[in-house]
């Protein structure tokens, strides 16, 4: 990556915008040129200056991208997949523990905390240790008991984690007895993950667990002029926006897998969000009051997927083999407002999968993209 300097007169120096190349076969010690690409999008984000383009080759990138700076008016920093939907930012990692059999089909393994590299969260980087702020699948658990909902079970608590076996999202079942009876479920307790497989050969399955709580979001608030274009963002252990405005529940702060963190003049277009625990995108992740027009919708998850807010146009299609939740198609669907989260977490589905923790499969002949701008 070279930045040719152009001299105009004796006192005005202009530096041309650069293109930083990223490739799964690259090296972060490289210069970011097409011949010597970088390995991670994060390294390119650290190098990028206003006006630059980060061009990402097809492949799976297991990382969180947190750009340290934004662009400028007329010179945004652009993150673009070189092949539309070819670059996949994935928030899960392969997991190959030493399996211990506890029952037919049910095996456990220890989860190493070193698998969770993002230490920027106040409550830790391991989504399996973070309670979900609302109970999915039409059940009433500990969060609802705390809110004085009738017939709630204070011993029932879900977490933000996800487990994928051969690319299928298994369902979380916190109750040990129910987990033992149902194949394709999992539960986590005190650093041990239990998976109920449909057979007794766990080593023959490809298991991945979510190890990121966000996928693209700066640590610094109010960065501006950033464009994200043509990516797939998938698998992320993020929080559901239930009563996130309550100061006494700081852990319920909502964060989408992609978020602007109150940034302005972002353009997020032509991306596919797939399999977040809670939501695809947020513009602001800190709230001081509930948004009056959305309070009823966001108070708790639906019993089953299939409902959506009429304020947001929802996709009916998805690319082959993808599991898609939200898709923002209106340029004004997400706006960066002071202290208010623009909630886009309600999922629309075409199948029977639950509304949270496992995302609904969409038909192979379908396709959907996700676009938004902030101003």
Q: Which band of pLDDT confidence, cut at 50, 70 and 90, is reported for residue 160? A: very high
In angstroms, how far is the first alpha carbon of the chain from the final one? Answer: 31
Instruction: Give the per-residue SS3 of the chain.
Output: CCCCEEEECCCEEEECCCEEEECCCCCCCCCCCCCCCECCHHHHHHHCCCCCEEEECCEEECCCECCCCCCECCECEEEEECCCCCEEEECEEECCCCCEEEECCEEEEECCHHHCCCCCCCCCCCHHHCECCCCCCCCCCHHHHHCCCCCCCCCCCCECCCEEECCEEEEECCCHHHHHHCCCEEEEECCEEEEECCCCCHHHCCEEEECCCCCECCCCCCCCCEEEECCEEEEECCCCCCCCCCCCCHHHCCCCCEECCCCCCCEEEEEEEEEECCCCEECCCCCCCCCCCCHHHHCCCCCCCCCCCCCCCCCCCCCCCCCECCCCCCCCCCCCECCECCCCCCCCCCCCCCCCCCCCCCCCCCCCCEEEECC
> Is it the case that residue 361 has pLDDT exceeding 90?
no
At 65-82, the pLDDT tens digits run 999 999 999 999 999 999
Q: Which band of pLDDT confidence, cut at 50, 70 and 90, is reported for residue 14? A: low
Residue count of the chain: 375
Higher pLDDT, 303 or 180: 180
The whole model's pTM is what? 0.78
Compute the C-alpha angle 327/340/284, nearest 5°: 60
pLDDT at position 375 is 66
Instruction: Give the span between the Cα atoms of 274 and 60, in whole angstroms.
Output: 14
pLDDT at position 74 is 96
Averaged pLDDT, 362-375: 51
Higher pLDDT, 321 or 111: 111
Instruction: Give the span between the Cα atoms of 166 and 122, in whole angstroms.
Output: 32
pLDDT at position 251 is 73
Q: Is residue 307 exposed (0-12), middle (13-18) or buried (19+ Cβ within 10 Å)?
A: middle
263 in Cβ contact with 222 (< 8 Å):
yes
At 26-42, the pLDDT tens digits run 999 999 999 999 999 99
Higher pLDDT, 232 or 318: 232
At 168-210, the pLDDT tens digits run 999 999 999 999 999 999 999 999 999 999 999 999 999 999 9
Phi-psi sector, 373: left (phi>0), alpha (psi -120 to 50), beta: beta
Q: Which domains does the chain have, with CATH numbers?
A: 94-210 (2.60.40.1180)
Q: Which band of pLDDT confidence, cut at 50, 70 and 90, is reported for residue 232? A: very high
pLDDT at position 230 is 98
Q: Is residue 309 exposed (0-12), middle (13-18) or buried (19+ Cβ within 10 Å)?
A: middle
Q: Which band of pLDDT confidence, cut at 50, 70 and 90, is reported for residue 240? A: confident
Q: Which band of pLDDT confidence, cut at 50, 70 and 90, is reported for residue 283? A: low
User: Judging by DSSP bridges, how do beta strands 106-110 and 100-103 pair with one another?
Assistant: antiparallel
Give the C-alpha distances (Å, rounded to integers) separating 197 from 189, 203, 207, 275: 18, 11, 11, 20
> Is it the case that residue 272 has pLDDT exceeding 90?
yes
Lowest mean per-residue pLDDT among 4-13, 39-48, 145-154: 4-13
> How large a percentage of the chain has pLDDT more than 90?
62
pLDDT at position 372 is 72
> Is it the case that residue 115 has pLDDT exceeding 90?
yes
Averaged pLDDT, 334-360: 30
Give the C-alpha distances (Å, rounded to integers) separating 268 from 25, 83, 228, 230, 237: 26, 16, 5, 9, 21
> Is it the case that residue 244 has pLDDT exceeding 60?
yes
100 in Cβ contact with 109 (< 8 Å):
yes
Averaged pLDDT, 127-134: 94
Largest CA distance in the chain: 79
Q: Is residue 58 exposed (0-12), middle (13-18) or buried (19+ Cβ within 10 Å)?
A: middle
- Mean pLDDT value across the chain: 78
């Amino acid at each position: 990556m070279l930045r040719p300097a152009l001299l105009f007169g004796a006192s005005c120096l202009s530096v041309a915008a650069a293109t930083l190349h990223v490739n799964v076969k690259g090296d972060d010690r490289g210069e970011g040129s097409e011949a010597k690409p970088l390995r991670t999008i994060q390294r390119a984000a650290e190098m990028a200056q206003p006006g630059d383009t980060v061009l990402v080759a097809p492949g799976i990138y297991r990382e969180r991208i947190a750009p340290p700076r934004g662009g400028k008016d007329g010179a945004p920093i652009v993150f673009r997949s070189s092949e539309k939907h070819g670059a996949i930012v994935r928030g899960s990692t392969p997991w190959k523990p030493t399996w211990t059999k506890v029952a037919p089909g049910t095996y456990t393994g220890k989860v190493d905390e070193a698998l969770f590299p993002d230490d920027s969260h106040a409550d830790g980087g391991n989504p399996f240790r973070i309670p979900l702020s609302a109970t999915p699948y039409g059940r009433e658990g500990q969060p609802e008991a705390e809110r004085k909902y009738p017939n709630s079970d204070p011993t029932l608590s879900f977490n933000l984690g996800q487990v994928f076996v051969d690319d299928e999202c298994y369902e979380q079942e916190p109750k040990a007895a129910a987990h033992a009876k149902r194949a394709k479920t999992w539960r986590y307790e005190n650093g041990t993950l239990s998976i109920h497989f449909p057979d007794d050969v766990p080593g023959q399955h490809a298991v991945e667990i979510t190890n990121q709580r966000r996928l693209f979001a700066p640590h610094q608030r109010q960065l501006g002029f950033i464009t994200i274009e043509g990516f797939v963002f998938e698998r992320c252990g993020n929080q559901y926006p239930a009563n996130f405005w309550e100061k006494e529940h700081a852990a319920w702060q909502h964060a989408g897998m992609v978020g602007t963190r109150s940034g302005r003049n972002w353009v997020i277009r032509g991306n596919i969000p797939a399999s977040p625990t809670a939501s695809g995108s947020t513009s602001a992740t800190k709230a001081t009051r509930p948004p009056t027009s959305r309070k009823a919708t966001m108070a708790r998850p639906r019993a089953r997927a299939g409902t959506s807010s009429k304020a947001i146009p929802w996709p009916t299609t998805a690319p082959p083999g993808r599991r898609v939740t939200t898709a923002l198609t209106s340029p004004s669907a997400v706006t960066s407002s002071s202290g208010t989260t623009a909630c886009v977490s309600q999922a629309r589905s075409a199948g029977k999968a639950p509304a949270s923790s496992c995302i609904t499969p969409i038909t192979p002949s379908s396709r959907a993209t996700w676009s938004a701008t902030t101003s």
